[in-house]
Chain A
Amino acid sequence: MSDTPVAAAPVDVDDERLAYRGVFQRLLVRPEIGAIIGAAAIWAFFWAVATEFGKAGGILPVLAVASTLGIMAVAVSLLMIGGEFDLSSGAATGTLGIVTILLVKDVGELGGAGLSLFIAIPLSLVVALGLGWFNGTMVERTGLPSFIVTLATFFILRGFKLGFSKLIIDNITVGRIDEGHGYDFFVKIFGSTWVRNDHQFEARDAVYTIGILGGIAVLVVAVCELNYLRKERFNPAGLGIFLAGLAGIVAGIAVLHSTDGTGANAAAGVIMAASGIVAFIGLASWRYAPQALEAFSLPSGVPVKVAGGVGLVGAGLLSAWQLDVDSQESVLDLVSGFRWPLVVVGGAFAGFVAVARGVAKISGPDTAENAHGLFRVVTISIASAFSIYAFMFMTTEQGLRAILFGLLILAGFVVLGLASTGAGRTSSTAKSIVQMVIAVSLVALAFFIRGQSGTPKFRSEVFTIVLALAILMVGWALTSARFRTRSDIDGDADKLGSRLAIGGLVAVFVGLAIKLLFTTDAEIAAGIPRAQLRVEFLWFVGVTALATFVLGRTKFGSWIFAVGGNKDAARQIGVPAARTKTQLFMIVSVAAWLVGLLLAFRLNTLQSGTGNGLEFEYIIAAVVGGTFLTGGYGSAFGASIGAVIMAMSKQGIPASRWNSDWRFAFLGAILLAAVIANNFIRTKAEASR
């Protein structure tokens, strides 16, 4: 006909609203990010209040609980992304386990089938597929909401479980699977365990440390790669500086490990900090394009805010220190008469103002502001959780001390953060200087915590984390003042950055896994409790990985998102919507079959009530992991993190010696927070016209 229109026009003016989103903003719209932050916060919370939570003996049981829950949560999240629910999924786990056992048994009034496990297990898989097909076909054919259809299936299964168990063996406890032929073969697949105390690895802590530190270093490089503009030509001198810095860090670690003296430790710390900053600058000058130094200018108000922030942090440190040294009763006497109303009203007001401000920021139009707002809400939520914990100990002096200290420190850092944002509006140099002030305050905080607290948890771990944060902040401030932030997409850099990020995460997880799975002579001598990892966890990891691959990388994955997001559009474009949904129901029932077998091999006997009522936990885990109740958006990986969160709350509340009746209140609060966060992400992702 005629020639094609101009290709690849210069940046279209219609794109003006689609500014390049930086690393952190892009991360924030991922569905699983809220769950990861939440998991870290909840873990930190239980870690602070329950001694077991920092140790392998506390983590492995959490993973065990998370595994069976997580396999189902991942499958349910796929179904929910596809826009449907399955209320029969909980009961199905028990049903399919019981079906397998009943097929194996050869006793009872009806004689029993007495099949070999080699036949019974595939047969129950067929039952599972049929169950999923039934759910899916009913939903698709009748056009009724899946909520109602699967609610009916739930009751049917519940009745069958009870009815058949009583009919066949006249008992509501169905066992035992180990009577079946082929048990020795299948127990390796579905029921084997790894007992930590039986596996020694003397170099464990070295591997762990190298894995964690190396992984974090790679992650830092990845973030730089994603954030800064690359140089046209790399500067080899920078590479030299970078390597020298790395060598310095290694030397510091070596010094730290070879000596025991306080002086040498401090020297090693200084060497490591300085080398870290050198390495950071070396990396930046090797790879990234520098920017002209901007004129240093401060908007009015920033110096006041900096002074105010530093003052607040100082006041916090001073007050905590003073309360500790001076007579404690005097302060309590002062407020004892109106202590409760004072704390309640003051705390509620502070919390309300802070959250309202954060939410106001979030709902604004600017992405950078949104990121700050969300960050603020998250930090405030974590801080509030700690404050509530402290509040429970209000009868002691430590409670008042913690609240005063916490509020002052938090207020100080919030004011400093505001100052940094304000300074950033006029000059990046000024912003960096304010960030330096924040870093120095963090260092002061770290050393204060080390000096004041008696428990090793705070003396070593919190101290290290806060100090590392301060070092990262200094490095970041130095480089972001001198180097240009990328403002466009660079395919190569993005690819390298995301690969490095994955590599770094893998290194960190390998380090953690080694620490969790092995023990040392010294630990056995000290008499650690017996801890074990069950094979369920491997299944959990495998199912999560498979589901993530399917969702992200296959046709079927695209179709799941499409049928959940806009079924009519999907059908219009040629996606077999009904078939896709039916297959999703079948995936859920196959997951239930797997979980049923895992439970049967773990417990050997199953109650007829097994699994009833757990379907809502699967849905909560999926929603906490960022899956929308309305379908079309979510992540399998997020759902697995959601399951870990649920497991932590199940295990953490008794571990903290609280009444476990509170567990459901806790779950409800988590669910509400997750739904609010998801809603926010949805409006972001759908921001239209």
Chain B
Amino acid sequence: MSSLIELDNIGKFYGNIIALQGVTTEVHAGEVTCVLGDNGAGKSTFIKILAGVHQHDEGEMKLDGESVKFNSPREALDRGVAAVYQDLAMVPLMSVWRNFFLGAEPTKGTWPLRWVDKAKAKSVAKAELAQMGIDIRDTEQPVGTLSGGERQSVAIARAVHFGAKVLILDEPTSALGVKQSGVVLKYTLAARDRGLGVIFITHNPHHAYPVGDRFMILNRGKSMGNFAKADLPRDELVRMMAGGAELDQLTHELESTAEGTDR
């Protein structure tokens, strides 16, 4: 299994604040890598570095074996790294098909008579959503009329359609109910099955465990280790997330070293 992205001792500082330090992980095609952490653990910084919003200050990020540093979200997108943010995914008052193709509208005709090929855009959006198992009756309806889970799903389908190799999902389930979360998890797996490397960021171990193949836990800007699913029973993951006590942390750090994982 080749790794799409390799992070080696990534660090990020805001002035004298250490937001992230010594984070090492790998993202594989066709696998879901879950990044878990409580508030302030450095999850957002982690995503922003991957998505090109911020640049890392130390360590190395490799995409397909080549060392990279993204200067803008657009650059990351062009290299196949797409981020789906919980609240920034969609423009609620715009129709589904416009959202789907936003920034990359298919056109026909030549300038100055170049217009958006609406029929094509609508049919492609519908077909692409259907491929992911999302049934939208009318792509003309505003995204705001979709449920929260469906919006996330449309954003995922969009990233997949535009050739993303790595899909970063930022807390996709945090604002959703149980059923809606299930919908999003289903599409996360659909994206994985299409061969994408998925990074699933959450603070909810119950959502992460069923979909994740690998887990990385962040705490106070530091990685608490990478685990394969086979090595990490669900209860253990829950305990690691829930346990705030210093002793617990220490124990787990010792355990992870003993088990010979990355750190």
Contacts and interface: CB of A to CB of B under 8 A. Distances in A.
Interface of A: 1-9, 11-12, 14-15, 17-18, 20, 488-489, 549, 553-555, 557-559, 561-562, 565-566, 568-575, 632-633, 682, 685-689
A31 to B, nearest CB: 10
Contacts of B180: 689
B133 A5 contact: yes
Contact of A7 (B115, B131, B145): B131
A569 B91 contact: yes
B137 A15 contact: yes
Given A573-B102, A574-B73, A575-B102, A5 B132 contact: yes
B98 A561 contact: yes
A558 B90 contact: no
Given A565-B93, A689-B147, A9 B30 contact: no
Contacts of B22: none
14 contacts: A9-B135, A14-B149, A18-B141, A554-B116, A555-B116, A561-B98, A562-B98, A562-B102, A565-B94, A632-B91, A685-B93, A686-B142, A688-B144, A689-B147
Contacts of A561: 91, 93-94, 98
Nearest to A628: B93
A20 B138 CA distance: 9
Contacts of B146: 688
Contacts of B115: 549, 553-554
A11 B77 CA distance: 32
Given A554-B114, A574-B77, A688-B92, 10 more contacts: A5-B133, A14-B147, A558-B98, A569-B85, A575-B102, A632-B92, A685-B92, A685-B144, A688-B144, A689-B147
A570 B103 contact: yes
A685 B137 contact: no
B91 A489 contact: no
A633 to B, nearest CB: 5
Most buried by A among B83, B89, B146: B146
Contacts of B63: none
B118 interface: yes
B7 interface: no
Contacts of A559: 102-103
Nearest to A553: B115
B205 interface: no
Contacts of B29: 1
Contact of A565 (B92, B101, B192): B92
Contacts of B85: 569, 572
Contacts of A15: 135, 137
B147 A572 contact: no
Contacts of B116: 553-555, 557-558
A12 B195 contact: no
A569 B90 contact: yes
Contacts of A20: 137
Most buried by A among B132, B135, B147, B150: B135
Most buried by B among A2, A8, A687: A8
Nearest to B189: A5
B48 to A, nearest CB: 11
B213 interface: no
A561 B29 CA distance: 35
A555 B105 contact: yes
B124 interface: no
Contacts of B150: 14
Nearest to B147: A689
Most buried by B among A17, A633, A682: A633
A568 B53 CA distance: 12
Most buried by A among B101, B102, B148: B102
A489 B93 contact: no
A566 B90 contact: yes
A558 B104 CA distance: 10
A469 B150 CA distance: 43
A689 B148 contact: yes
Contacts of B235: none
B240 interface: no
A216 to B, nearest CB: 26
Nearest to B51: A572
Contacts of B118: 553
Nearest to A569: B88
Contacts of A3: 193
B206 interface: no
A570 B102 CA distance: 8
Nearest to B115: A553
B183 interface: yes
Interface in B121-144: 130-135, 137-138, 141-142, 144
A425 to B, nearest CB: 25
B67 interface: no
Most buried by B among A571, A575, A689: A689
B120 interface: no
A20 to B, nearest CB: 7
A18 B103 contact: no
B211 interface: no
Contact of B130 (A7, A17, A555): A7
A12 B135 contact: yes
Contacts of A553: 115-116, 118
Contacts of A633: 93
A574 B74 contact: yes
A562 B94 contact: yes
B88 A566 contact: yes
B263 interface: no
A1 B98 contact: no
